[in-house]
Structure 1
Amino acid sequence: MSRPQQSAVFGKRKDPHTIIIARGDDIRHFTVRPWMAAIAGSFLASLAIGYILATSYLVLRDDLIGANVARQARMQQSYEDRISSLRAQLDRVTSRQLLDQQFMQQKVGELIARQDKLTERQSRLGPILEQINGKAAPTPSPRPQVKAEVRPEAAPFRTAGITATAFAPTAASNIPWPLREGSQSNKMSAADKADRLFVELNQALKSIEAEQIDNVKTLAEDAYQTAGVIADALEDAGIEIAENYGQENVGGPLLVSAGEQVFEDQVKELDEALSQLKALKQTARKMPLANPAPGAQVSSTFGTRRDPFLGRPAYHSGIDFRAQRGTNVHATGAGKVVKAGWNGGYGRMVEIDHGNGLTSRYAHMSKIEVKEGQTVTTGTVVGEVGSSGRSTGPHLHYEVRRSGNAVNPTRFLAAGRKIAPHIKPES
């Protein structure tokens, strides 16, 4: 029997393997060739490698997916944190804006209230200024809107003896403006700028309020000073004024006023001073203090003199003014004409009752311009210079009498010259 042929596939030739499978009488056999074993081994190796690679891919893919999911989760968390931070910042900004808005509304309300107070003060001062100036005071203008461009300042009103002050809006240059273009303050927040502006406006309003109080105080002091001048002049002339003038039965603890009460106290003080001054002016206007013949020279004084007709000493009850015939003769004070006609040696004479027992006489006139019972004011023309009655030539004989007794008119003329700058003639 011949040997089977050896295969040289894997080097040295070997006899092929035979696999015999017996099952009862059924016998089968398979011959395993080397190349078939090689193919089967290669196939199994490929399957193993493929399984390993697939398993590795699945494991690595899960890791990659997990890492990607984790990275996405971290990014999402970061975005959510950022959104939360921005939302919180937006809430803070919104809250700050609301607070700034409330702050602005509050400050604007305060400024409007202070402006209303200044307007109300001006309204309070209106009647007083009218009293001082003798004419209607300017009506306060409507409240302006709160702007940095408006600042009230003093505008003078002058009257005899007193300077009154009203307040009117003027240009913006007097109030600092902190929000100019290109300024360093633009680097501040809007709230800081507004706060700074409100502070400066408040300071300006406080300055105006203080100026108002100072002006009212000055007016009161001027009124008291003028009243003192008039009172002293009247006393020098022997004219009685109120017994308790300049004196008050007052007392009590010292309570310092503050805030709005300071202005109220100053206004009350000014009102009292002006009332006192007004009463003194009214008294002075009634008294015979003016010159009956302005510019005329005194030719004969009051008292004992040499009588021009008899040549011996005689009592002269008035003073004489040398003037040309026809020169106007003026009433020296307000009052009522009680005599207007011929009166013996006085010739044509006018007598005026000024009250408080004082009368004035104007004698030797050539013409009388008033009638008995007529009311006259200071400066009213009562007649013209003449030489009627017991007279040696054209002149005015002027007398002042208290309770029917002649007094020296020179004292009244001196008092009149002293207070003339402080008293306006009644129209």
Structure 2
Amino acid sequence: MSKSSAQYSQYPQHHPHDHGRAFQRRLGVPAPATAIPLPAPDDAYTIVHAGKQVRFGPVVFWIVVGTVVLLGLWSAATATYFAFRDDVLTRLIARQAEMQYAYEDRIAELRAKVDRTTSRQLLDQEQFDQKLDQIMKRQTALESRATALGAMPDVTGSIPRAAPQRSDASPSTPKPSPISDTVIFVAPPDREARLESRAPSVVAAPTSQFAKNQGFDNVLVRLTTSLDQVERRQMATLSAVEESMDSRMRRMRSVVSDLGLNLAHLEAAVPRSAMGGPFVPVKLTANAGPFEKQLYRIHTTRAEMDRLNRTLALVPYRKPVIGEVEFTSGFGVRSDPFLGRPAMHTGLDFRAASGDPVRVTAYGKVVSAGWSGGYGRMVEVDHGNGLSTRYGHLSEINVKVGEVVKIGQVIGLVGSTGRSTGPHLHYETRIEGEAVDPQKFLRAGVRLSAG
């Protein structure tokens, strides 16, 4: 197919003048050269088949050609799609499966992370609750220790305290005013080891509330440090008390020894008060800590000290008159005030004003109360175990024979009866009836009152 349809025709066109040329060709006579007529040039396309011609315009022609080309391309694409369809689907399915697995793995990883976080939070919460519970138990233990320390009387004077108010209003029970006020012991009001560092009080937050890492850890550290300080102070207090008690026990025993007294005999002479009850031995628990052991030792020492105090209550080491100690005459050989010759003075003469109260220096029983020669009016008190004291030159006697007297009780008034040159108190200390220097006992009282 071309623009000159005559050149591409399968069969030549017949013309009326061609009959002669055909005959000449059969005879072998060459035909004269003639020009082949050309169709008139135009833009049409002609299709000739079996003597029939079909003419197309250029627009229709190219539409047909384009359609054929498109159909061919579509056929090729369709063939290619069906040829590779299975591979594409396989790859798509594999890709989809890979993405699904990746999502599932990611979800599993996130779930595991959440589980680990939850487990860590639960563990942290559990640890926080355990620490807080330990702190609460420790605080309770420290508070009970503080109560035990507060209930422990101060038998040593090792902890500073304000001077207690003493009642001197009643004339029948005045203060004994000895050199050593170590007979009656009162617990100091400020002895208790307080938990001043507890603020705020250790009150557990709701256990369901999660302990935020850094904040609550700092709170626990501060609480633990505060409780450590309280515990150290309590242990230091106990150590000071124990050391002071041990020191006082040594002084008390040494005083008895220096005075030449038999401690066992003194203890046997101690009057027994009305006490009783079942015997329950003191013992430590198996899980007792250092504080409990030290407190046990202190209680044991305190019980022994109480026994020694009751024993020493029979030893006349206190002053018989109030005020400053001033002697007008000591124990031993002196010049007799009446005769001017050397003579043995069997006691101490205390300077005092007429009418000043005279107090007994130890527990005992009155064995003599009346006029006794050169003593004038005199009171003698038997303290047991061979110990006795005499109070002479009294202007007035306030006790009777056989009366049991207590430390500091007024037994008479200072005077100048008997062989005396003026108002004073003649005071004697005797062991097994033998006069001994009262200053020896008074110095023992000073030693006991020290520290």
Give the secondary structure class of the aligned counterpart of 1:304: strand
Please give the per-residue CA displacement for 1:168-213, whole angstroms capped at 9, x wherever unaligned.
Answer: 1224799xxxxxxxxxxxxxx9435545654554454345434433
Q: Which residue of 1 aligns with 2:70?
A: 49
Check the 8 A contact 1:340/1:351 in 2, yes or no.
Answer: yes
Q: How does 1:224-373 map to 2 (within 5 A)?
A: 224-242=246-264, 260-294=288-322, 295=324, 297-373=326-402
Q: How does 1:171-210 map to 2 (within 5 A)?
A: 171=197, 190-191=212-213, 194-195=216-217, 198-199=220-221, 201-210=223-232
The worse-fitting range, judged by mean Cα deviation, of 292-301 and 346-355 is 292-301
Check the 8 A contact 1:220/1:274 in 2, yes or no.
Answer: no
Per-residue deviation at 1:99?
Answer: 0.7
Distance 1:336 1:260 in 2: 46
Distance 2:358 2:44 in 1: 176
Q: Describe the shift of the 1:91–1:58 C-alpha distance in structure 2 as closer, same or farther (beyond 3 A).
A: farther
Q: How does 1:72-151 map to 2 (within 5 A)?
A: 75-127=99-151, 129-130=152-153, 132=155
1:34 maps to 2:54: yes
Please give the per-residue CA displacement for 1:75-96, whole angstroms capped at 9, x wherever unaligned.
Answer: 5544434333322221111111
The equivalent position to 2:432 in structure 1, one of 384, 403, 414, is: 403
Q: How many residues align?
A: 362
Per-residue deviation at 1:353?
Answer: 2.3
Q: Describe the shift of the 1:66–1:387 C-alpha distance in structure 2 as closer, same or farther (beyond 3 A).
A: same
Q: Describe the shift of the 1:223–1:52 C-alpha distance in structure 2 as closer, same or farther (beyond 3 A).
A: same
Q: Describe the shift of the 1:309–1:12 C-alpha distance in structure 2 as closer, same or farther (beyond 3 A).
A: closer
Distance 2:384 2:81 in 1: 128
Q: Which residue of 1 aligns with 2:239?
A: 217
Q: Describe the shift of the 1:9–1:286 C-alpha distance in structure 2 as closer, same or farther (beyond 3 A).
A: farther
Give the secondary structure class of the aligned counterpart of 2:155: helix
Please give the per-residue CA displacement for 1:12-62, whole angstroms capped at 9, x wherever unaligned.
Answer: 9999543xxxxxxxxxxxx64333899899758735632532652686696
The worse-fitting range, judged by mean Cα deviation, of 6-15 and 334-343 is 6-15
Distance 1:7 1:377 in 2: 171
Q: Describe the shift of the 1:59–1:96 C-alpha distance in structure 2 as closer, same or farther (beyond 3 A).
A: farther
Please give the per-residue CA displacement for 1:297-338, whole angstroms capped at 9, x wherever unaligned.
Answer: 322332334444455444332222233321221222233333
The letter for the 2-side match of 1:279 is R
Q: Which residue of 2 aligns with 1:376?
A: 405
Per-residue deviation at 1:404?
Answer: 2.3
Q: How does 1:379-390 map to 2 (within 5 A)?
A: 379-390=408-419
Check the 8 A contact 2:363/2:406 in 1, yes or no.
Answer: yes
Distance 1:408 1:17 in 2: 174
Check the 8 A contact 2:398/2:412 in 1, yes or no.
Answer: yes
Distance 1:69 1:192 in 2: 50
When you count strand as a share of all residues, which structure comes out higher?
A: 1
Please give the per-residue CA displacement for 1:346-389, whole angstroms capped at 9, x wherever unaligned.
Answer: 22222222222211111111111233344433322221111223
Per-residue deviation at 1:262?
Answer: 2.5
Per-residue deviation at 1:408?
Answer: 1.7
Distance 1:74 1:403 in 2: 116
Please give the per-residue CA displacement for 1:276-297, whole angstroms capped at 9, x wherever unaligned.
Answer: 3333333333321122234363
Q: Describe the shift of the 1:407–1:41 C-alpha distance in structure 2 as closer, same or farther (beyond 3 A).
A: closer
Check the 8 A contact 2:393/2:418 in 1, yes or no.
Answer: yes
Q: Describe the shift of the 1:107–1:260 C-alpha distance in structure 2 as closer, same or farther (beyond 3 A).
A: same
Per-residue deviation at 1:68?
Answer: 7.1
Distance 2:381 2:362 in 1: 9
Give the secondary structure class of the aligned counterpart of 1:341: strand
Distance 1:229 1:413 in 2: 14
Distance 2:329 2:129 in 1: 79
The worse-fitting range, judged by mean Cα deviation, of 66-75 and 328-337 is 66-75
Give me the identity figure in percent: 37
Q: Describe the shift of the 1:53–1:82 C-alpha distance in structure 2 as closer, same or farther (beyond 3 A).
A: same
Distance 2:153 2:254 in 1: 26
The equivalent position to 2:443 in structure 1, one of 403, 414, 420, is: 414
The letter for the 2-side match of 1:49 is L
TM-score of the pair, normalised by structure 2 = 0.65
Distance 1:156 1:301 in 2: 36
Distance 1:384 1:15 in 2: 173
The worse-fitting range, judged by mean Cα deviation, of 259-268 and 41-50 is 41-50
Give the secondary structure class of the aligned counterpart of 1:238: coil
Structure number with greater Rg is 2
Give the secondary structure class of the aligned counterpart of 1:411: helix
The letter for the 1-side match of 2:239 is K
1:170 maps to 2:192: no
TM-score of the pair, normalised by structure 1 = 0.68
Please give the per-residue CA displacement for 1:232-285, whole angstroms capped at 9, x wherever unaligned.
Answer: 334333333359x9xxxxxxxxxxxx9954323322322233233333333333
Distance 2:53 2:94 in 1: 55
Q: Which runs of 5+ in 1 are unaligned?
A: 19-30, 135-154, 175-188, 246-257, 423-427
Q: Which runs of 5+ in 2 are unaligned?
A: 1-13, 17-36, 164-181, 201-210, 268-285
The letter for the 2-side match of 1:114 is R
